[in-house]
Structure 1
Amino acid sequence: MPISANTPPALIERIDACLPQTQCTQCGYPRCRAYAEALAAGSAGINQCPPGGDVTIQALSALLHAAPQPLDPRFGSHQPRARAVIDETLCIGCRKCIDACPVDAIIGARKLMHTVIAHECTGCELCLPPCPVDCIALVAAGLTSGGGPWPEYPPAETARWRRRTEQRLERLARSRRRRTRGTKAATVLPNDREKIRADIRAAVDRVKEKRNRGKS
């Protein structure tokens, strides 16, 4: 359901402040702000945020005058906070994890090793599925303190993740506008596409060979 023109922006802001800003999409929406907008429009339930867990449900219940309810298992279960770590010896530099990260917490260049900025990682897991060599793992991040509602997510971090998400979206929007105005992306010919695929296959084969040598 789209946002009504009558939906107070201040309400969306207050709802968004109840969300831990992991940008994990487990709620069924592409980012925390979109979930907040759906809640304000009345098209989403208050129990769809696994990272926020009971803390978020209680906060949304009080804000929206809705009855508290258990976390809906269709959207996952609350898990201890984790962060992504890249095995840099296996990374092939394909950039797929960089493109997937909602808060720009992964840095690196094509065909060069990538690494995760530990304190910027939200533990959203969105970088795991695209990795063709399974070189990314989640490790426990532990509890933190910061005076906020969540024991795992201090307010300073959630505010920073919200800001980094907005900056990333703005950057992508600028890039799309430049292309629309006539900045054409380089044309990828069939032969070029096959070369890219061959490079990735070769890199994957090298990783497998390295793993097999390590087992022998």
Structure 2
Amino acid sequence: MNKVTPEQIDALLPQTQCGLCGYGGCMPYAEAMVFEAAPINLCPPGGVHTLRELGRLMNQDPEPYVSEMEHKAKPPMLAVIREAECIGCTKCIQACPVDAILGSAKQMHTIISAECTGCELCVPPCPVDCIDILIQPDAAQIELEKKSRARQRFRERQERLAMENAEKKTLLHKNSLAKKKTYIHDAIARVKARKAQRHAPDKQGLR
């Protein structure tokens, strides 16, 4: 029997990237199931349907978890900003795992409904509590196309953040080297100045 891959598991997950499973997104949870034996019952947005799909794929019995999942399952959600109350702090933009929020500092923000996964991660950092989380009617689960987009946007955001962190580290390293060179240059100059002072002729002794 072929070993289950994280990609196979990730394909079954709802791609909300909400972190309710305790991991940093759907793919990290999928990797944890493969490499760390994480349980199959940690995805409330996936509900009972995803639980049973994961059970079939992982060759595990999902039935002991069904009752619990029925109580903690979350329907598809959608975030909406009350734009008149938004102060443009950008904290929700920084929190969104799929870059589904548009706006800039001190400007009104808005959520791209077609891209929002309803993860709710934008709610806690909002200092004025102007974000509502609404249940999406007539949607049993995120559509296949939307799941694919959410997965791609999450990956692109992770790559962008990794690149930004790498650039920051490079800049810090360059600044550190520049400061070190300046320090060494100044230290050498001080030593040379002291040597020159010691070897300078005593003008009073020459009179």
TM-score, normalised to structure 2, is 0.77
Q: Name the structure 2 match of 1:160.
A: 149
Matches within 5 A, 1:40-51: 40-51=34-45
2:76 pairs, out of 64, 70, 81, with: 81
2:159 pairs, out of 149, 170, 193, with: 170
Q: Name the structure 2 match of 1:179.
A: 168
Percent of pairs identical after alignment?
46
For residues 32-54 of structure 1, what are the alpha-carbon distances to aligned partners after superposition, in whole Å with 9 as ceiling and x for unaligned? 10100010124310111001011
Q: Which amino acid letter does the alignment assign opposite residue 158 of structure 2?
A: L
Q: Which amino acid letter does the alignment assign opposite residue 25 of structure 1?
A: G
1-side partners of 2:76 and 2:43: how far apart?
Answer: 14
Shift of 1:127: 0.4
After the TM superposition, list the runs of 4 or more consecutive aligned residues in structure 1 that deviate by more than 3 angstroms: 71-74
The answer to whether the 8 A contact 2:88-2:107 is kept is yes
Give the SS at the match of 2:134. strand
1-side partners of 2:13 and 2:85: how far apart?
Answer: 34
Q: Which amino acid letter does the alignment assign opposite residue 41 of structure 2?
A: N
List runs of 5+ in structure 2 lacking aligned partners: 174-207
The answer to whether the 8 A contact 2:46-2:74 is kept is no
Give the SS at the match of 1:134. coil
List runs of 5+ in structure 1 lacking aligned partners: 1-6, 145-150, 185-216
Q: Which amino acid letter does the alignment assign opposite residue 155 of structure 2?
A: E
Matches within 5 A, 1:53-132: 53-68=47-62, 69-70=64-65, 77-132=72-127
Shift of 1:143: 2.4
Matches within 5 A, 1:133-152: 133-144=128-139, 151-152=140-141
Cα root mean square deviation, aligned: 2.0
Q: Name the structure 2 match of 1:193.
A: none
Report which of the two has the higher share of helix: 2
Give the SS at the match of 1:120. coil
The answer to whether the 8 A contact 1:93-1:108 is kept is yes
The answer to whether the 8 A contact 2:14-2:141 is kept is no
Give the SS at the match of 1:17. helix
